[in-house]
Amino acid sequence: MARGVNFLLYINTGTEETPLYTKVAGQRGGTFNRSTDTIDLTSKDNYGFKDEDYGIASWSIEADGLLVEDDAGYQALENAFDNKGIVLVRWETAGGSKYEGEAIITDFSNEAPYDDSATYSVTLNGKGQYTKSPGA
């Protein structure tokens, strides 16, 4: 059984030509979302039943964690958000599978409560298709 603690978010801190994937420090939660729109093919020939086919697909990653401001992964996220840049991102599963692709940052928040740890949350929306490398 896979445990959530072994699913990790990595950001490219190298170059596009020579990626260097760096784990974002302090990560607590993470979600890899995949979805697809549908195309309605329903006609009277379907006898009152809906008929659909696959449409445009999309993916995104949501993550949150403890705020470690001097972490290279966090700095790469902040730099990309501030400059409206594209990031190369990797989502690695407990079994070692790697999902990689380009993404834009659509939400990047910090929370600093008076009596608790400062945290971050980030949403990365995929640009185009991701690639998958199987694990061990």
pLDDT in tens, 48-106: 999 999 999 999 999 999 999 999 999 999 999 999 999 999 999 999 999 999 999 99
- Between CA 61 and CA 134 the distance in angstroms is 18
- Alpha-carbon distance values, 50 to 9, 64, 92, 114 (Å): 38, 39, 37, 53
pLDDT in tens, 8-43: 999 999 998 999 999 999 999 999 999 999 999 999
pLDDT at 136: 59
Task: Specify the fold of 4-133.
Answer: Factor Xa Inhibitor (4.10.410)
SS3 7: coil
DSSP for the chain?
---GGG-EEEEE-S-SSS--EEEPTTEEEEEEEEEEEEEE---GGGTT---EEEEEEEEEEEEEEE--TT-HHHHHHHHHHHTT--EEEEEE-TT--EEEEEEEEEEEEEE--TTS--EEEEEEEEEEEEEEE---
What is the spatial order of strands in the sheet that 27-40 belongs to?
A: 21-23, 8-12, 87-92, 98-111, 119-133, 52-66, 27-40
Query: Residues 2-11: what's their mean pLDDT?
Result: 85
* H or E element that contains 58: strand 52-66
